[in-house]
Chain A
């Protein structure tokens, strides 16, 4: 590796995980759109199935193009490896399903993406896995919620949609004190803004659909393991520390001191649940990752300009952005997010629901849709879309009001975006009058 301490993020984003194609010398990552891979002979086939040799067998389990993305994101996060999945939701499910079964319990931040909240509060509960939601900032509440059957603590780096900053050093220390890992959804920050492993997190996942891909073209997820959590010492994870009849009686923690989690997740989770990423999507996400540092810098720069504009506008009630001194996590954000607090944030338009509706309908550059992290600017009304299944109490706990608007600031000229917002706010004022 070059440099005093290995390659930097800018370089890894372009190169990690890929060497030029040995057959034709292709510089771009080839798209291996093949379900399966020919064995050299019977011995090699048996050895691949029994984890005696490295390589690819079937693209549900692994694929050369997808592996480049996995390696690249693991490199960017500073992990030991990664598994790409069909979506961010699939990555989160894979993490949970690998670690626990019925009768287990999760402690999660109450400020989550609506999809994550659905998975935890409704779907996993149906499968016997309960979740207690706690206020993100209340460490005592996190502590009080931990039970003997708790197996995981979980939060988002920037809680959706109020941008609660997860105090990863304190929450991870609490988790480790109880022999538990901390899983972090790092979608809003990407490794450009924050590397959760450097602050104590054990597992990270991304909805790669968002900033990693960056262009709104492919749905995908990536789950990364730091390799730092000692499953054996914890004694709470038999899926990783006891023989697994479903794969040659393998004890994954014996098999690998640092990669037990990923081994089980791939050999069981991808194999049996099957939520794998397609090679085509992996290629498109790789294209996005190549420019991640450049895009994130611009995303953050634009976001800050828009935040300042909105915070000073008389038609705006409040702006939730940790970069502002008014945000309750401002000090923590300065510590964990020195490069900026991302480009997804919420604000409230004065005049409630009618004003919010008019505002969104007046915008021209911002696209009204359910996504974030696109190169193009996006807007949505969470109470009626991403979080519509949540009760009023749960919405309030998550910091969402009826007039809350969420923006995902893209890469357009900031002045053009401000002009668009200005037009929308003027219309909102008229609607509220």
Chain B
């Protein structure tokens, strides 16, 4: 569906169901240089199991208009405006990587509107190497390949989605990203220095979904975040790296189900 957020056309995949603002709302927030596609299976599941789903393309990403927002704080406030545009008072947020930081900050800034947060592939701080940032700025294809290499634990495949070559799909999706968006997104992650303070302010229950073979946000990097959150539980995903929703879609889904249903 299309929404108008801050006068900009925003696309949100609704899991194949008509969005009903009367149902509990679940908003999926993607990571750097990605779009709603990364939540395909999970978003369809929850749309058919009690939730109204908005798997958004963030501004300047995928089918959405506008420019990529330039800070995690800006993304968090944009999420509140997204809920307004959708006619939703309260929502659950599920965020991956950069999207997880946006969800965390949104829960801290807008506690009356965020009822639960699921943070996948998250870390605070989420430092990005100088090498990757430099590539993202000047040689995006090189950066896409670096991310791909570090994000797919199943480097030789064996995907549970029939016929899907996940490293190829990840690369193709990043190549669709708007020029310059990867650098902005990664800079957002790298520059976000107040995550632990935000975590301490979060009042709602939080789930940390940690891929055991994540090289982008290694499992240990979620340690401080887990300590800072008041009401937190953890789910570990075997056989997956940072691209866990694609590499182990069912395991990620089961972790979310246990938290949300």
Contact = CB atoms under 8 A, between A and B. Distances in A.
Interface in A16-69: 16-19, 46-47, 50-56, 61-63, 66-68
Contacts of A249: 16
Contact of B40 (A16, A226, A256): A256
Contacts of B249: 53-54
B164 A81 contact: yes
B160 A54 contact: yes
Given A1-B167, A79-B165, A266-B163, A16 B16 contact: no
Interface in B125-177: 145, 148-149, 152, 154-165, 167-169, 172-173, 175-176
A248 B15 CA distance: 11
A18 B157 CA distance: 6
Contacts of A83: 163
B175 A228 contact: yes
Nearest to B44: A52
B253 interface: yes
A144 interface: no
A17 B165 contact: yes
B157 A259 contact: no
Interface in B223-251: 249-250
Interface stretch (A4-12, A318-326, A332-340, A411-419): A4-12
Interface string B12-51: 0100100000000000000000010100111011001000
A74 B148 CA distance: 16
A81 B169 contact: yes
B44 A50 contact: yes
B162 A228 contact: no
A53 B168 contact: no
Interface residues of A, number: 55
B110 interface: no
A54 B161 contact: yes
B113 interface: no
A52 B163 contact: no
B109 interface: no
Max chain B Cβ within 10 angstroms of own Cβ: one of A70, A81, A83, A266:
A81
A376 interface: no
Contacts of A259: 37, 164, 169
Nearest to B43: A52
Contacts of B175: 228
Contacts of B155: 1-2, 6-7
A15 interface: yes
Contacts of B59: none
A16 B156 contact: yes
B180 to A, nearest CB: 18
Contact of A67 (B42, B149, B152, B162): B162
Given A53-B249, A228-B172, A248-B16, A256 B37 contact: yes
A119 interface: no
A53 B41 contact: yes
Nearest to B156: A15
Contacts of A53: 41, 45, 249-250, 253
B63 to A, nearest CB: 7
A1 B157 CA distance: 10
Contacts of A266: 162-163
Contacts of B37: 255-259
Given A18-B157, A258-B172, A74 B40 contact: no
Nearest to A226: B172
Interface in A121-138: none
A5 B145 contact: yes
A20 B231 CA distance: 39
A51 B47 CA distance: 12
Contacts of B176: 230, 257-258
Contacts of B13: 254-255
A384 B42 CA distance: 56
A68 B156 CA distance: 11
A12 B250 CA distance: 25
Contacts of B48: 46-47, 50, 52
A52 B41 contact: yes
B62 interface: yes
Contact of A71 (B40, B44, B145, B164): B164
A75 interface: yes
A52 B155 CA distance: 24
Given A52-B41, A254-B13, A75 B35 contact: no
A279 interface: no
Contacts of B169: 80-81, 227, 258-259
Contact of A78 (B168, B250, B253): B168
A82 interface: yes
B151 to A, nearest CB: 10
Most buried by A among B45, B163, B164, B168: B163
Nearest to B173: A258
Given A7-B156, A54-B162, A255 B168 contact: no
- Which 6 interchain pairs have the tightest Cβ spacing? A227-B172, A1-B155, A62-B162, A74-B165, A70-B163, A52-B45
Given A50-B44, A53-B41, A255-B16, 20 more contacts: A6-B155, A16-B157, A16-B165, A50-B48, A52-B48, A53-B253, A54-B160, A54-B161, A54-B249, A61-B162, A62-B163, A71-B159, A74-B165, A75-B156, A75-B167, A232-B63, A249-B16, A254-B13, A257-B176, A258-B172
20 contacts: A1-B149, A1-B167, A5-B149, A16-B156, A16-B157, A52-B45, A52-B48, A53-B45, A55-B162, A56-B162, A67-B163, A71-B157, A80-B169, A81-B161, A81-B169, A84-B163, A226-B172, A257-B37, A257-B173, A258-B173
